[in-house]
A and B are shown apart, each in its own frame.
Chain A
Amino acid sequence: MPESTRLSADAQRHFALRGRGMVSLRFATVLAVIVVLAVALWTWQATRPAHPDGKQEIVVWNLAMLGPNVELALHQFDLENPRYRVVYSSSVAPDTTTDGQRLLTAIAGGVPPDMMMFDRFAIPEWAARGALTELTPFLAHQRPHDPYRIDLSEDYPWTVEEGSYRKPGTSGKAGLFGIPATVDCRLLFCNANQLRQVGMVDPRTGQPRPPRTWKELRALAKRLTIVDQATGRLVRLGFAPNVGNSWLYMYAWQAGGELLSRDGTKVTFDTPPVRRALRFMVDLFDDAGGVAKVNSFESSFQEAGPLDPFLTGEVSMKIDQTWALQQMINWKPDLDFLTSPAPMPADRLAAGAKPITWSGGMSYIIPKGAREADGAFKLIQFLTSSRIYRFLQQADRESMAAEGRLYLPTPDPNRKHFEELESQWVSNDPKVPLRIKQAYVVIKQMLPRARIRPPSPIGQVLWNQQVRAMDAAINHVYSETVKNEDAEVEHALATAQRAAQAELDAFLEPPPPHKVNWPAYFWGYGALIVLCGAAGAIAYRRHRHTRAYKKREVGAALVFASPWLIGMICLTGGPILFTIITSFTRYDVLSPARYVGWQNYRDLLTDDIFFQSLWNTAYMLLRLPLVMGVGLIIAMLLDRSIRGIGAYRTAFFMPSIVPVVASSLLWLMLLNPNFGAINLALAWIFSTPPAHWLAAAVSLIAGHRVEFTPPGWLEDPRWSKPALILMSVWSAGGGMIIWLAGLQSIPRQLYEAAAIDGAGAWGRFVNVTLPMLSPYILFNAVVGMIATMQIFTEAYIMTQGGPADSTNFYAYQLFRSAFQYFRMGYASALAWILFLIVLLLTLTQLWASRRWVHYERT
């Protein structure tokens, strides 16, 4: 064997070097250890907080809402308070609720930021779990003549209420956990030109007029919606509840409903006003041709900016937040639009009810365990002061003015601050267009009577459940289970109500009695390891002679295996044990774990989202044959003597080395329905004659007219998973290399023999290539399956599980349960089920492979 002669030559060279080699080995080892230690020490050092000037650091997160000049304001604080230094870092999550994950880990890690801006609606939930510092004492201890004294009586009362928490069903004063920082509200915006075009004008003034009642809104929406008669596609959407920002909450309040009882202990989704509201939403979607059509039409979610469909005139009316005004002024200053309160049911107006709006916004919080809570409160005082509000607004206004744009003051929770500034910059400024002034009149009128989502310890669940009820109803998910639309709505609401109520009850019931005794497990685990060691020792003594163990060899083996043993014991075995135990507990990291038995596993089996995520993940398994097939085809094309093979190989292989973050961002753009390259190409292809012929042929078969249109990809629940599959096919080049190696290892004689036996190209492929490749196919199927079951980053970066939970993959759901809903026990149960599924699938594949995998005997 030529191979072994080469090897021994190598070895001989090394033996010859032995004398000097001893020194150089020691030297190299010492050097390597020193270098690694130095770098390790450096990373350690670099990551320790340094206080060179003896100042106290206030770590602040997530003030992006305050605009680009926030660093200037923080610097002012530094200058005025020499004791402190503010360290600011921005957010790393697609939305503030997701950023909760970072906050939770930081609190659990014992190094939370000292202060941050937080979605106000989430405050009660976090406060209920003891994650936030109560701010009432800080407020009480303010000096009476402090120029930065916070006076909450000047704020809109609901902003304070939303950031307060009291356990549902109890009486007493609610504790305050968040100082209001920003507010928004939702209003109806109408494209005035389009109202004019359909004759929606006030007969007296001749000016366009917005709809005031639900009935008017619905009728107008129908008239403004344009459907392409030929294709059935939407050309313009009059109105749809979810285009913009309005949810079931808002319509329920308009109809006089509530989603949670006053004392916060009962979920009240399934009540007549809420049913009526949801039915109204369903009708609006159905009028426009169904939610699928609206979704595939509406694709503005990823491009707030000049392409917002309201700005391009593709959406005539929308209910949206106040910042939409600034959008319009920025990107389409000449757009003629009307602002008005969202329409109400006519009978409610007749009964004297006033139009309502739904408000939200951000508050400042101090997490539990913040080291500089006093400094953080000082900073909150500073940032909420009239001076800094004006300072920041002024700074933004100047930057806008410098770009020739008009700046609109953002509403402040402090009514006085806001109205003063508004009168100066909007009402009394002759340069501000009339339609903006009119919008601010509506804002000022609506803010005092804004409604908020009820503060609840299960706010996030409540929110998600109302979204699910809405999704189910507007998509007619239950149309086969129940007979009419009213019953569908009722069924959707009742289902969501049950789920939310269960969560609320679980929270309200006294915690399970038994806490987990961690030290016992710890010692038990230690004992187990010692036992394993002892077993090894016994095996050594007993089989020393039969298996020829040598003392030195075993000693050396222990040393050689030690890194892995340590890792196994500390970083794999321990965690596995931990996850097993936590899967039987209720555990939110912040309070002790308590046993709940099989509860988590039972919950999991009754949870629709669990099955949905399982289905989503299973769907993604489809990418395996595709990726392998494409890779194999390319490999077979490349498996021949042609020029430029290296260049081809490089081109095909390159996509597979692109980092996931980068490829996700790239594909987010490529898949953009409006101007992503893929849809541009598809649109061009569909406009060519062959596509028309094909469409005609399909129409003939289908019996109705069919037209090809580019899909909405990541914004359409039906296409989001295929989109991600397409993205993985792009990186099929990695597999191609493996196939190529496999193909080239097939002895040519086999093909020749097959050819002599009269096999054609296909025959040779089926009878020679595939069997010879089968070990590779098996291996890649197993590895690919394991990877697919754990798919996460794509969902996190590109879709956040949406739309309509269609990319909520198993690992993403697990991540969410753990770090967003604090359900570590439930998440651990999910992890174990995942492990079992992977194990089962692998074993099945291995078992089945006996029938089709061909191993060459060597």
Chain B
Amino acid sequence: MSVLSTLMRIRARPSPVRLRQSPPSLRRRVLRPILNQWIVHLTLLTLAALFFFPFVWMFGLSLKTDEEVTSTAVFPALPQFIASSPYVLKADKVDRPQMAPREQWNRVYPQLLSDSFSAVGTLPLPAAMFDADIQPLRQAAAIEAARLGVQWIDQNSWTTGDTEGIRGQFQNGLARSDLPSVLNGRLARLEFGDLQVRSLTGHVKPIAQDGHLWKVLSGDAELVPIDSTGVQALRYRFANSSAAPVVLQSVFDAAIPADQLLRLVIAYKGDGSWNRMDFQLQVGDQRYVSEQTSYIAQHRGASILLQPPTFLDQTLGARNWVSLAPAGRVTGPASPTQATLTLTLWPSSTLRAMWGKFQRNYSRAFRSMPFWTYVRNSLVVVILQLAGALFSSGFVGYAFARLNWPGRSLAMGILLATMMLPSQVTMIPSFLIWRAIGWYNTLNPLWIGAWLGNAFFIFLMVQHMRTIPRELDDAARIDGLDEFQIWWYVMMPQVKPTLAAIAIMTFMGAWNEFMQPLILLRDQTKFTLGLGLFAMRLDANVDWPLIMSGNLLMILPVIVIFFLFQRYFIEGVTLTGMKG
């Protein structure tokens, strides 16, 4: 069956020669082939785009923030350098209610908008904003307010066409809506709420200093108290993207010494500017610096957890905190509980902001599961399976292909029959066997099978070995080689293509494996990547950008290996598809 080797080279070949009686016209000779080529390319391009699109989409989704998940765009908006904050967020236009006829809506909507604009116009402006933003803010808020007011309109009013009635209901709705929060919601503003210190014993100490928690150390910035609860808004301006950072500092009594500190919680509301925050903390004489840079990614309220090394680093749960690395000791603190927190706000150039957005979900994915533990487990399984499959298929294949022994054809029949056996048949008893020998909850059952030979791989090997001329091993035998030497020196070098194909298929199979780990592994520390990813999906619930990032991280090695060994992949698949 030399078919094998000929099939392995897939190369483009010239199309069949066309036989014609008369010499073709110029149109036929030149135009047609070009046209044909173009049509083929166009079809192929369209199809390839369709097939490739899910990857692109997954990649796009993995870059989105959770505020962008529901948007219909494939890729998220690109962030830009934001030189000054607060700034005004644009409002999308109000959707037509389902029951409202289009022309009616087009007529009434401008009136409603002007109603809502005048309702918003009388409101006090949010603190800390720049004067130039006042008018745009009111316009954006008017649209948002209109969205609320429209909900108060009785659905039947639309069909009666009573404009005044509709406006009445709308104004009534506006009057009952929380317009100040609508106005505030359109302003992106960096706000700092209270600080909490949490001790290792779980005690909480809020630190409030009546609105003077932070002070500006350097930079073109100003802290403005925005309400009575002590929340401060930061108004800042960067001359350009390489301007000096804004540095804020807070000095407070942490109430506990450094060795009892679990975490420091900073409540803040982001301005979505993708500018960056770094932290330095000093408690008593112990200094810490933050290990990760926090990009200000969102608009809604959030909290930053600053956490020195603790027992939580050993757990397997999501690490949603910013790690603090100890950075030496300083001398002469006033008291062991005296704390100084320094926040450095760096401007992000457009490029920097894009990078921040690009890596955000990926770094979250790394921190929300014990990724490297999973990878290590998967690698152990993959390597041992690879070694096992390469060894056993060639080794056992030799017995079937070359050696003459009683019962060989019967055994071959059984081998072929087991290829048809659904894995479910042996699922339960194998589980009981692994349990009985104490291998439940170990990685061993996941790879040991490969060492005992996979029926399909043995079959492939036998098929290939049979095509190798017998003269070779006869010659070797005459030269005095024994069977093992013949296997190793004569056979194995000949079947390298099949070995490569088996290696690829084993790798894919092992990396893919889901059911076996699901049944046989108990502890999260032993999960393989596939199972771990699935577990993370359950934890992350609806955090699809995070799940898709994890997904891409799992696919990436396969794709890299695919590109490195593309030829063998294709040979492997070709072999699999070969007739028996």
Contacts and interface: CB of A to CB of B under 8 A. Distances in A.
Nearest to B426: A575
Given A7-B494, A670-B57, A554 B405 contact: yes
Interface in A1-18: 3-4, 7-8, 10-11, 14-15, 17-18
Contacts of B155: 197-198, 226
A745 B7 contact: yes
Contact of A653 (B424, B479, B570): B570
A572 B418 contact: yes
Interface in A753-811: 755-756, 775-776, 778-780, 783, 786, 789-790, 792-793, 796-797, 811
Contact of A730 (B15, B51, B484, B523): B51
B43 interface: yes
Interface residues of B, number: 177
Interface string B507-529: 01001101100111011111100
A578 B440 contact: no
B539 A64 contact: yes
B573 A737 contact: yes
B44 to A, nearest CB: 5
A68 B368 CA distance: 12
A641 B15 contact: yes
A166 to B, nearest CB: 30
Given A561-B396, A563-B452, A675-B72, 9 more contacts: A90-B539, A637-B44, A641-B14, A652-B47, A666-B58, A737-B570, A797-B534, A827-B428, A858-B1
A17 B490 CA distance: 12
Nearest to A102: B522
Interface stretch (A169-177, A265-273, A397-405, A507-515): A397-405
A745 B13 CA distance: 11
B399 A557 contact: yes
A92 B535 contact: yes
Given A640-B12, A776-B577, A818-B427, A111 B440 contact: yes
Contact of A90 (B14, B57, B317, B493): B317
Interface in A352-383: none
B152 interface: yes
A8 B472 contact: yes
Interface in B566-580: 566, 569-570, 573-574, 576-580
Given A92-B535, A560-B398, A780-B577, A657 B483 contact: no
B364 to A, nearest CB: 15
A745 B54 contact: no
Nearest to A12: B475
B554 interface: yes
Contact of B534 (A92, A557, A574, A579): A92
A828 interface: yes
A110 B577 contact: no
B325 interface: no
Contact of A675 (B55, B69, B538, B579): B69
Nearest to B181: A334
Interface residues of A, number: 188
Given A15-B479, A44-B442, A748-B16, A741 B530 contact: no
Interface in A469-511: none
Contact of B579 (A21, A575, A775): A775
Contacts of B414: 568
12 contacts: A39-B384, A43-B380, A92-B531, A560-B395, A563-B392, A568-B414, A579-B429, A648-B48, A659-B558, A669-B547, A745-B3, A786-B420
B404 A548 contact: yes
A567 B453 contact: yes
B407 A391 contact: no
Given A197-B155, A556-B484, A669-B544, A93 B407 contact: no
A226 B577 contact: no
Interface stretch (B281-289, B297-305, B327-335): B297-305
B255 interface: no
A752 B16 contact: yes
B204 A398 contact: yes
Nearest to B524: A89
Interface stretch (B83-91, B210-218, B272-280, B308-316): B308-316
A751 B13 CA distance: 14
Dominant secondary structure at the B interface: helix
B154 to A, nearest CB: 5
Contacts of B296: none
A665 B433 contact: no
Given A71-B315, A652-B47, A665-B551, A549 B406 contact: yes
**Which 7 pairs across A and B sit closest by C-beta, in order of nearness?**
A567-B452, A404-B301, A738-B577, A402-B303, A560-B399, A109-B440, A575-B429
A543 B12 CA distance: 52
Interface stretch (A252-260, A421-429, A532-540, A606-614): A532-540
A202 interface: no
Contacts of B424: 790, 811, 814-815, 830-831, 834
A642 B452 contact: no
A535 B99 contact: no
B256 interface: no
Interface string B455-492: 00010000000001101100110010111110111100
Interface in A615-658: 634, 637-638, 640-642, 644-645, 647-658
B207 interface: no
A662 B47 contact: no
B451 interface: yes
A110 B2 CA distance: 53
B564 interface: no
Contacts of B57: 670, 677
A313 B10 CA distance: 57
Which of B57, B403, B444, B451 has the most chain A CB atoms inside 10 A of its CB? B403
A226 B524 contact: no
Nearest to B17: A752
A539 B19 contact: no
Interface stretch (A299-307, A443-451, A693-701, A715-723): A299-307
A659 B512 contact: yes
A346 interface: no
Contacts of A733: 51
Interface stretch (A73-81, A130-138, A153-161, A290-298): A73-81
A564 B204 CA distance: 62
B166 interface: no
B99 A226 contact: yes
A547 interface: yes
B180 interface: no
A402 B191 CA distance: 12
Contacts of B8: 741
B209 interface: no
Contact of B404 (A18, A547, A659, A858): A547
Interface in B170-201: 177-178, 181, 193, 196, 200-201
B32 interface: no
Interface in A824-858: 824, 827-828, 830-832, 834-835, 838-839, 842, 855, 858
Interface in A653-696: 653-662, 665-667, 669-670, 674-675, 677, 680
A304 B542 CA distance: 7
Given A571-B452, A661-B554, A303 B542 contact: yes
Contacts of A793: 514-515
B538 A94 contact: yes
A545 interface: no
Contacts of A744: 7, 10-11, 13
A117 to B, nearest CB: 14
Which of A101, A113, A641, A780 has the most chain B CB atoms inside 10 A of its CB? A641
A219 interface: no
Interface in B10-57: 10-19, 37, 40-41, 43-44, 47-48, 51-55, 57
A106 interface: yes
A741 B54 contact: no
A529 interface: no
B549 to A, nearest CB: 11
